[in-house]
A and B are shown apart, each in its own frame.
Chain A
Amino acid sequence: MSTTSVLYDHPGPRARVRNTVLSVVFGVALLGLLYWIYTKFDQANQWEPRLWEPFTRSTTWTQFILPGLWATLKAAVVGMLLSLAFGIVFAVGRISDHRWISVPAGAVVEFFRAVPLLLMIFFVFYGLPYVIKQPVTAFWAVVIGLTLYNGSVLAEAFRAGIRSLPAGQSEAAYAIGMRKTRVMQLILIPQAARAMLPIIVSQLVVLLKDTALGYIVAYPELLQRGVNDLAANYGNIIAAAMVIAVIYIVINSMLTWFAGWLDRRSRVRAFRVPKQTAPANAPDSTPEGGVTVSEPQG
């Protein structure tokens, strides 16, 4: 039984009538709102077939939307791979026994988590060329920005994942004679990575959405190509924004669903494992109280 249904009684005759009335009232109000929006757009001539017709042409897709989508996915995938590497390195750095490693690693992670992504992209795109004396492409500006931010977020997720593993895991590894590096490599990281898989995938959603910031530095991603450039050709900015929004929503919904599926799957596994090991571990198998919300970064 889910918590939502525990909040109200099973509706009796009166409650059912009331719920129906509320449904109808709110439904009508909602339809009214949608109709109002529709007429507003209509007055601005936004439903003219001329504005929507370009989306039925294959050239619109092959010239604008698909290349944009490809650029978005490319930045997201490269950014994700680099973020994972960044995350693992800094997570391990932060739990190091040597303070001269853990303190700087912690500072870097905290700093990049607190700085807006746009500032980093601007710095890499506009500022870094002055320092390294050569231009930085928009692609790398976006990817480096994404890596620094999402890598730091993943570093914290990894650290939490490694710390949530039962102490017996590393103790057993030390007992059979492994050194610190091998304990980390062979025992802790693989287990933490598996527990963190849902978070990694949901971070991919954040990352994919953040590639839209590439629009600001004229990286030809989905928002730039599909909305800005397309509308520059056909003058259909609202229509284009709606179509592109739907594409983003579909892709991200699939990723979110995938993250949820992974989460449910790993939970089923995690449920079985404690039965084999000592039951003493069971109470702290959910250390964070279960309230996790992915960060709403742009």
Chain B
Amino acid sequence: MHVFTDPKNFDAYLSGFLWILKLTGASAVFALLLGVLLAGMRVSPVPVLRGFGAAWVNIFRNTPLTLVIFFCYFGLYSTLGLSLSQELDLNRYWLGVIGLSVYTAAFVCEAVRSGINTVPTGQAEAARAIGLSFAQTLRIVVLPQAARSVIAPFGSVLIALCKNATIVGTIGLMESSNVMKDLINSNGDAVIPIFLVIAGTFAALLIPTGYLFGWLANRLAVKR
């Protein structure tokens, strides 16, 4: 454990995990908004919107995240000159957030759509019968009920997002995985403790998160 008692290493470990948390937090918000919007498009009466939602989901769900992040960096930044911050690390961070958000939004969209499918058709029929429009039906009647059955899939999307945040290390952000690589390379005698601490941090955060979402999903499940 001497590796982590060195304040320099400990700081690297902390800042690495902090990047992961920041990436997860920002991307979760954007992915959620975008994903719900996309799900709305996919069930809408307008064919162009449906097509757009379907195309988005099919493109991003079937492309490796590594390629998406890679494209954000080399395509958006290096080639097109999209710079989001003067600071190199912050720029990488925001490019990473873009990649993670557009990728995760596809999964959020599919989760919401499968949630919409669990709402009995009678609900939407009744909403239509009292004269609600499509937007009202979705917003007031269907989505609130779908939200409760979507909690468990959301939990796994969020957990996967947090793990996927390590992939932003590909474009040079010093997050947990890059920190681990550096620590291993400079402390060859303590590779197992290094792995156990850094992987253990993820496990300690994500395993309880999984159980929390499972518990929430059970508690808030619509009894039918």
Contact = CB atoms under 8 A, between A and B. Distances in A.
Majority secondary structure, A binding face: helix
Interface residues of A, number: 65
Nearest to A244: B67
A26 B181 CA distance: 46
A115 B181 CA distance: 15
A173 interface: no
A244 B42 CA distance: 27
A59 B103 CA distance: 32
A25 to B, nearest CB: 9
Given A116-B163, A215-B170, A238 B202 contact: no
B117 A126 contact: no
A19 B194 contact: no
A6 B67 contact: no
B161 interface: yes
Interface string A65-107: 0000000000000000000000000000000000000000000
A117 B206 CA distance: 14
Interface in A2-25: 3-4, 6-9, 11, 15, 19, 22-23
Contact of B66 (A8, A23, A46, A215): A215
Contact of B207 (A19, A114, A292): A114
Interface string B50-83: 0010000011011111110011001100111100
Contacts of B152: 291
A252 B65 CA distance: 13
Contact of B210 (A6, A23, A114, A215): A114
Contact of A216 (B66, B202, B206): B66
Contacts, number: 223
Nearest to B199: A115
A241 B99 CA distance: 14
A272 B210 CA distance: 35
16 contacts: A11-B45, A19-B45, A23-B49, A26-B49, A27-B48, A114-B159, A117-B163, A119-B195, A120-B199, A215-B170, A216-B66, A291-B150, A293-B153, A296-B164, A297-B163, A297-B164
Interface of B: 42-49, 52, 58-59, 61-67, 70-71, 74-75, 78-81, 103-104, 106-107, 110-111, 114-119, 121, 124-125, 128, 133-134, 137-138, 142, 149-150, 152-153, 156-157, 159-161, 163-167, 169-170, 176-177, 180-181, 184-185, 188-189, 191-192, 194-195, 198-199, 202-203, 205-207, 210, 221
- Chain A to chain B: the 8 pairs with minimum beta-carbon distance, closest first: A212-B64, A127-B191, A252-B62, A298-B65, A116-B163, A296-B107, A114-B206, A212-B66
Given A118-B169, A123-B184, A223-B66, 11 more contacts: A3-B119, A7-B142, A26-B52, A115-B199, A116-B163, A118-B167, A127-B192, A238-B79, A252-B62, A296-B61, A297-B160
